[in-house]
């Protein structure tokens, strides 16, 4: 069972309220999601392919990330998710944007950018979460079919990709 803190739409923690993954989120409350865009120093972007048994299975993620656990600060969450999903242990993440998602499962997203010089062949896949990865140039990423990509938030938060 995954436990989360509750937040209001201003990204402020609501004390004394606990949310549980899979249970309905009360009106006016949100859970926090931290996403990390990984760009290599050579300018390419890391994409991870979702495991087929996951929602959106087989599609490509443009971010590493997930929900912040109860008591976890946003930057801690981003660093943990990046390490779990890619094997990259980075402490140089830079926040690049925020968004509120008022869908059926309300969430707040904090977007981070990780610029790395890691060996591109040394990415660790998270068992049960991802099955493949690839590095794409800006032009290759822009040419991808939108229905092949799960998280399209990258287009909003990375200026060089904003013309998608």
Give the per-residue pLDDT at 77: 97
Q: What is the DSSP letter of 156?
A: H
Give the per-residue pLDDT at 104: 76
Q: Is the pLDDT of residue 141 over 80?
A: yes
Give the per-residue pLDDT at 154: 74
Tell me if residue 75 falls in helix, strand or coil. helix
pTM value > 0.85: yes
> How far is C-alpha 108 from the chain's CA centre?
11
Q: Measure the CA–CA gap between 89 and 81, rounded to whole angstroms.
A: 10
Which pLDDT tens digit goes with each residue over 27-82?
Answer: 999 999 999 999 999 999 999 999 999 888 899 999 999 999 999 999 999 999 99
Triad 6, 12, 13: Cα angle to 5° = 35
Tell me whether residue 99 is exposed, middle or buried, using C-beta atoms within 10 angstroms of its C-beta: 0 to 12, 13 to 18, 19 or more.
middle
Tell me the pLDDT band of 153, cut-offs 50, 70 and 90. confident
Domains delineated in the chain: 3-159 (3.90.79.10)
Residue located via tokens 């600060």? 73
Which pLDDT tens digit goes with each residue over 81-128?
Answer: 999 999 999 888 999 999 999 887 899 999 999 999 999 999 999 999
Which pLDDT tens digit goes with each residue over 1-32?
Answer: 899 999 999 999 999 999 999 999 999 999 99
């Amino acid at each position: 069972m995954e436990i989360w803190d509750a937040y209001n739409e201003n990204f402020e923690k609501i004390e004394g309220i606990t949310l549980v993954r899979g249970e309905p989120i009360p009106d006016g409350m949100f859970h926090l999601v931290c996403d990390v865009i990984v760009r290599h120093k050579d300018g390419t972007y890391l994409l991870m392919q979702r495991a087929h048994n996951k929602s959106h299975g087989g599609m490509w993620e443009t971010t590493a990330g997930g929900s912040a656990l109860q008591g976890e600060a946003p930057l801690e969450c981003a660093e943990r998710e990046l390490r779990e999903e890619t094997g990259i242990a980075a402490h140089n993440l830079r926040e690049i944007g925020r968004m509120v998602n008022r869908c059926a499962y309300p969430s707040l997203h904090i977007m981070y950018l990780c610029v790395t010089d890691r060996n591109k062949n040394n990415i660790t896949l998270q068992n049960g979460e991802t099955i493949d990865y690839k590095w794409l140039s800006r032009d290759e990423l822009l040419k991808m079919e939108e229905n092949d990509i799960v998280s399209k938030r990258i287009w909003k938060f990375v200026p060089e990709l904003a013309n998608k």
